């Protein structure tokens, strides 16, 4: 068989696939609108639930300026995203080992500058992940609360966006405002919803129905109900031990809920080809590019 010609688009795509032979990485951005609704709790425990499903997972603490995943896990980073952004270290130097083999990318706590990154810096940050060369199945990105530039850029750079909301009017209003901006201004057409810290499954469903009713009327977006996580004292107990509930109390109601969510996420279709945005691990997506279907596995 003749080797693809490097002067053609197909030939160049084949060259890139040879350079980046890994499978695509699924990237999930977790966002919330309002702070304090359990976004970091969901990010961390979703990441671990996916590990329990047999996946290799990295968790990025992108709560730039208000880092807390390392605190939640009792990790002590020497370097963090701020050092990476300053070009002082590479991604491999800031990665920490969390529970169950989770790879943790720590954020920069209390560094205001990180919260004010401009678009070019955020693009640089997304691209910095391309230097990670090990196999990886999923990257979970714990974004900041609210609707800052970092949240929308990171959401756009992911393939899936999970919005976390509680059954409180302020949380639902802020989640809706976030969904509106992501869909109307950033072209995100599909959003997953997790109802967290609710009293019952019916309560969780109510959060989703509320959001759907308004979104269906006013927005061009499809909302999917990813699941409900109950209010569970075991979450707080685990936090006090600087552990994740899924690991510390695997039989607790919230852990079982996270397992169910992890199962659902594991059943999603593999990521498709690049969509033309700034995207995480875009070179690994090229292998799935619709422009080069004949070359995959060639």
Residues within the interface to ligand ATP (CB under 6 A): 32, 35-41, 63, 66, 68, 145, 196-197, 229, 231-232, 235-236, 239, 254
Token pair 């600087």 is at which residue? 242
Distance CA 258, CA 252 (A): 10
CB atoms within 10 A of CB 17: 22
- Between 49 and 229, whose beta carbon lies closer to ligand ATP? 229
CB of 240 to ligand ATP, least distance (A): 9
CB of residue 2 vs ligand ATP: minimum separation in angstroms?
54
Q: What is the smallest separation between the CB atom of 296 and ligand ATP, expressed in angstroms? A: 38
User: What is the dihedral sign for C-alpha 169, 32, 260, 220?
Assistant: positive
Alpha-carbon span 297 to 89, nearest angstrom: 34
The residue (of 225 and 288) whose beta carbon lies closer to ligand ATP is 225
Q: Which is nearer to ligand ATP, 147 or 292 (CB)?
A: 147
Q: How far apart are CA 72 and CA 194, in angstroms?
A: 20
Q: How far apart are CA 182 and CA 178, in angstroms?
A: 6
Using the minimum distance from each CB to ligand ATP, give the nearer residue, 36 or 101: 36
Total count of residues recorded for the chain? 298
Smallest gap from residue 110 Cβ to ligand ATP (A): 13
- Dist CA 65 CA 47 (whole Å): 22
- Name the nearest CA neighbour of 27 among 156, 214, 182: 156
Q: Which is nearer to ligand ATP, 113 or 236 (CB)?
A: 236
CA distance 293 to 129: 25
Q: How far is the CB of 265 from ligand ATP (least distance, A)?
A: 18
If the CB atoms of residues 37 and 105 are measured against ligand ATP, the closer one turns out to be: 37
Task: Supply the minimum distance, in Å, between the C-beta of residue 118 and ligand ATP.
Answer: 22
| 298/289 Cα distance (integer angstroms) | 14
| Closest residue to ligand ATP: CB criterion | 35
Please report, to the nearest 10 degrees, the dihedral formed by the alpha carbons of residues 214, 35, 63, 191 taken in order. Answer: -20
> What is the nearest approach in angstroms of ligand ATP to the Cβ of residue 271?
25
Q: Which is nearer to ligand ATP, 162 or 285 (CB)?
A: 162
């Amino acid at each position: 068989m003749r080797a693809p010609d490097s002067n053609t688009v197909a030939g160049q795509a084949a060259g890139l696939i040879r350079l980046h032979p890994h499978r695509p990485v699924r990237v999930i951005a977790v966002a919330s609108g309002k702070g304090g609704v359990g976004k970091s709790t969901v990010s961390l425990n979703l990441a671990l639930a996916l590990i329990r499903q047999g996946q290799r997972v990295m968790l990025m603490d992108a709560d730039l300026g208000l880092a807390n995943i390392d605190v939640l896990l009792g990790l002590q980073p020497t370097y963090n995203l701020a050092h990476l952004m300053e070009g002082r270290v590479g991604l491999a130097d800031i990665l920490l080992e969390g529970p169950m083999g989770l790879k943790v990318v720590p954020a920069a706590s209390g560094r205001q500058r990180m919260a004010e990154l401009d678009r070019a810096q955020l693009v640089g940050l997304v691209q910095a992940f391309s230097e990670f060369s090990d196999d990886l199945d999923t990257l979970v990105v714990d974004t900041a609360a609210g609707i800052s530039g970092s949240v929308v850029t990171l959401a756009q750079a992911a393939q899936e966006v999970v919005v976390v909301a509680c059954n409180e009017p302020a949380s639902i209003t802020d989640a809706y405002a976030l969904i509106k901006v992501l869909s109307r201004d950033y072209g995100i057409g599909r959003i997953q919803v997790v109802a967290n810290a609710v009293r019952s499954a019916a309560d969780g469903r109510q959060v989703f129905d509320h959001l759907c009713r308004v979104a269906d009327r006013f927005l061009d977006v499809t909302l999917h109900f990813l699941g409900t996580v109950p209010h569970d004292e075991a979450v707080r107990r685990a936090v006090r031990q600087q552990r994740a509930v899924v690991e510390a109390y695997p039989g607790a109601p919230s852990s079982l809920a996270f397992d169910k969510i992890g199962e659902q996420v594991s059943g999603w279709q593999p990521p498709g080809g690049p969509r033309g945005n700034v995207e995480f691990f875009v070179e690994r997506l090229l292998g799935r590019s619709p422009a080069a279907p004949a070359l995959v596995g060639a």
